[in-house]
Amino acid sequence: MSPLFLRVRKLMRLIFFSKLLFIILMSSHVHARGVYQEPDAFLQDSFENNIPKARVIWLTTDVRPVVEKILGHKPSVLRIRYWKKEQRTAWILEEIGKDKPITTGVVINQGRIERVKVLVFRESRGWEVRHGFFTDQFKGASINSERHLDKTIDGISGATLSVRALRKLSRLALYLDSQVKNKE
């Protein structure tokens, strides 16, 4: 075999493996987006296949400013649906990560977070927030008098905006849960 043939063959292998690596790396970003659990399935899991009737909390003049402060922007809705059974409430909420909404389910039991689950993730980055190693940090958290979480939630490098969105949604669910209980 000629030296030229060997160089060409080596170059072709390098190009092939470079393309293969590119495809593998890009496919992980494509798979990051998606529906991880349908909202109905989340509710079935949360209430052991006995989903209570949906209720709503209106963002009235006393509630709306607090919601705005927690989110850092005006809410885009006038009311928020939730499900309640005994001392447990479930909330399916959305917040923008960088550009697109992250749909998250939060279950509150007696004023503390029982479960946080990313249901639908639409961003190209920050998808690591869907994993248990991150969401398990929220278990047992509540909010203090300034409406901040009483637990430190570690961030994820490269997922700062997604982490921030989940923190906001957790705080929001805890606040709304307290409002629902105060009105009973």
pLDDT tens, residue order, the chain (184 aa): 677 777 777 877 778 766 665 565 555 444 457 888 999 999 999 999 899 999 999 999 999 999 999 999 999 999 999 999 999 999 999 999 999 999 999 999 999 999 999 999 998 888 899 999 999 999 999 999 999 999 999 999 989 999 999 999 999 999 999 999 987 7
**Strand blocks (E) in the chain:** 34-35, 54-58, 79-85, 88-96, 101-109, 112-121
Q: Which of these, 120, 121, 122, 117, lies nearest to 91 by C-alpha position?
A: 117
H/E element, 3: helix 3-32
The answer on 52 and 7 residing in a single domain is: no
CB atoms closer than 10 angstroms to residue 19: 10
* Residue span of the structural domain in which 21 resides: 1-32
Beta carbons of 88 and 107 less than 8 angstroms apart: yes
Q: For residue 143, what is the DSSP state? A: B
> Are both 79 and 21 inside the same structural domain?
no
15 and 44 in one domain? no
Beta bridge partners of 112: 109
The CA distance from 67 to 40, in Å, is 25
Q: What is the pTM of this model?
A: 0.82
pLDDT attached to residue 176: 98
Same domain (yes/no): 27, 43: no
The whole-number pLDDT of residue 97 equals 92
Residues 27 and 108 both lie in one domain: no
How many other C-beta atoms are found inside a 10 Å radius of the C-beta of residue 164?
19
- pLDDT value at residue 25: 55
